[in-house]
Amino acid sequence: MLYKINEIFETLQGEGSFTGQPSIFIRLQGCPVGCSWCDTKHTWETKPDLAIPVNDLLAKSEESEHWSELSVDGIAKLFVEQNYQAKHVVITGGEPCMFDLTPLCAALESRGYSTQIETSGTFEVNTTEKCWVTVSPKVNMRGGYKVLSQAMQRANEIKHPVATEQHVDDLKALLAEHQVTDKQVYLQPISQKQRATELAINTCIENNWRLSVQVHKYIGIE
């Protein structure tokens, strides 16, 4: 199994249940969902002429559409070569669930890592039983993809971006449609603007949900 990767880096997880956890991020290339506020639009397309060697991928100093292809063993070997200390791996994108992530997560877990997937919920989640799945459901996006019941049921947490009351209404309708009542729900302001943050805070209090504020953006890390 080969995975198309936009970047691999070590940092702190800034969102959701694992906020503050040292983590290795694997950002996969490719996503057709089309979120208007996406902050990783450089991962949307997989252009064959932008494939680069792994060493060039690791040397990237800014966001780009360049990507490399790595096997499961290649990824695990790279972690050792880079002397990464974190034992938590976050697989994100792009849309990571366009890939079957079971081989990757199983291999990493067998080597002592915990795994987490961050997905839009618009593709079926194929992973190990132990993997922590964060569904950040994307409703009525440009790509026209629907949030799947399988993804909502597999989720360990629901982390929903919000800026307006409509976003809150969309989430409540989604939870009701898929009969999700036993998941931890996080609201995440789409920007650091006061209006979006206040909406998220008030809604969390009203519904006994939690706030996720993208700590990495406030402290200025990747």
Domain annotation covers residue 44:
yes
Binding residues for S-adenosyl-L-methionine: 37-39, 94, 136-138
Domain annotation covers residue 203:
no
Ramachandran angles phi, psi of 101, nearest 5°: -95, 0
The pLDDT, as a whole number, for residue 218 is 66
Ramachandran angles phi, psi of 206, nearest 5°: -65, -30
Binding residues for [4Fe-4S] cluster: 31, 35, 38
- Report the alpha-carbon distance of residue 200 to residue 118 in Å, rounded: 20
Domain annotation covers residue 197:
no
Domain annotation covers residue 201:
no
Its domain, for residue 68, covers 2-160
Domain annotation covers residue 29:
yes
Domain annotation covers residue 188:
no
Amino acid of residue 146: K
CATH of the domain at 70: 3.20.20.70
Binding residues: 12-14, 27, 31, 35, 37-40, 92, 94, 136-138
- Report the alpha-carbon distance of residue 137 to residue 157 in Å, rounded: 11
**What's the number of domains the chain is made of?**
1
Binding residues for substrate: 12-14, 27, 92
pLDDT in tens, the chain (222 residues): 899 999 999 999 999 999 999 999 999 999 999 988 788 999 999 999 999 999 999 999 899 999 999 999 999 999 999 999 999 999 999 999 999 999 999 999 999 999 999 999 999 999 999 999 999 999 888 888 999 999 999 999 999 999 999 999 999 999 999 999 989 999 999 877 789 999 999 999 999 999 998 776 666 766
Runs of H (alpha helix) within the chain: 54-59, 72-81, 102-110, 149-154, 165-177, 194-207, 215-219
Give pLDDT tens digits for 104-113.
999 999 999 9
Binding residues for Mg(2+): 40
Domain annotation covers residue 176:
no
Domain annotation covers residue 200:
no
The pLDDT, as a whole number, for residue 217 is 66
pTM equals: 0.93
